[in-house]
Structure 1
Amino acid sequence: MLDQILCVDDDPITLMLCKKVIIKASFSNEIITAQNGEEALLYFNKIKYTNSENESRKHPQLIFLDLNMPVMGGWEFLDIFNTYDYSEFNSIKVIVLSSTIDPEDLEKAKSYPMVIDFLSKPITTSILEHLKNKM
């Protein structure tokens, strides 16, 4: 079981379903949500700048990321999250969850080292079992 995960999606129903499935599958102790990439980056900035040097920095081990969101989409989030500014989080794995599986998107996702899978929505317990085995 993971300690903490982050679900980034603009649809509140998808976020609620994601939480329910994750809890049912005992996949994570804590589920944090963000409604777009900008909100997710603000969350990571808060971790970076509010923890002192001596404090252990708790952060998600896995991110479920939607691609198409207002304000900041998944690709923009990945472009920024993949920079030196966020290098302290480079051990976090990302699962792209999208309602469409476009072959071009699949190829683009492979260019980000932190993306370990590209899956179709909605998240299911069988998807989580697959991820448990993969990790």
Structure 2
Amino acid sequence: MIPIVMSIDDDDITQMLYEYLFEDNFFCTKLVKAYDGKESIDYFEEQSKLSNEQRRYPDLIFLDINMPGLNGWAFLDYLTEKNKVRLNAMNVIVVTSSIKPEDKYRAEVHPLVLNFIPKPLSTEILEKLKTNPALQQYFV
């Protein structure tokens, strides 16, 4: 199982669905929820203040890009600019209702984005993710 997964989505139902899916599919040990880009940045900022032993960054992030306030793209910009130390160990999966080709392209070329998945997330998608080379180590 992945030690820490973060879900960034402004929809309560989506957050609840993720919680059940991750638990039912033995996908992660801990789920950290954030309801917008600002809340997720606050989490990273708080973690950065802790000692190395206490610091708990997510190993994988499920990110919605269309959120009020600070959206998913702004959060990705933050990750790229502020957390260069952790970039090699962090993966982002964009899970969105967006059908814009430019959103898909932007996600595909972003160095942190592992995958672009249309909503809703499902058991089948999680099972496929478990075989992804970037995540496979957690599911041996």
Cα distance in 1 for partners of 2:99, 2:123 equals: 19
Amino acid at match of 1:42: D
Partner deviation per Cα, 1:52-97 (whole Å, 9 max, x = no partner): 25x25322100000011011100111111111x2112212100000
Partner residue, 1:127 = 125
| Correspondence 1:87-102 to 2 at 5 A | 87-90=84-87, 91-102=89-100
Q: How many residues align?
A: 132
Question: Normalising by structure 1, what TM-score?
Answer: 0.92
Q: Cα RMSD between the aligned structures?
A: 1.2
* 2:51 paired residue number: 52
Identity within the alignment, %: 39
Q: Are positions 1:2 and 2:2 aligned together?
A: yes
3-state DSSP of counterpart to 2:124: helix
Q: Once the two structures are superposed, what CA deviation does each residue of 1:1-34 show, in whole Å capped at 9, x if it has no partner?
A: 1011000000011100011111100000100100
TM-score normalised by the chain length of structure 2 = 0.89
Question: Does the 8 A contact of 1:82 with 1:112 survive in 2?
Answer: no
Query: Where does residue 79 of structure 1 map in the other structure?
Result: 77
Q: Is the 8 A contact 2:66 2:98 kept in 1?
A: no
User: Aligned letter for 1:119?
Assistant: I
Structure 2 spans left out of the alignment, 5+ residues: 136-140
Task: Specify every segment of 5 or more residues in structure 1 that has no aligned partner in the other structure, as ranges.
Answer: none
Q: Which amino acid aligns with 1:115?
A: V
Corresponding residue SS for 2:116? strand
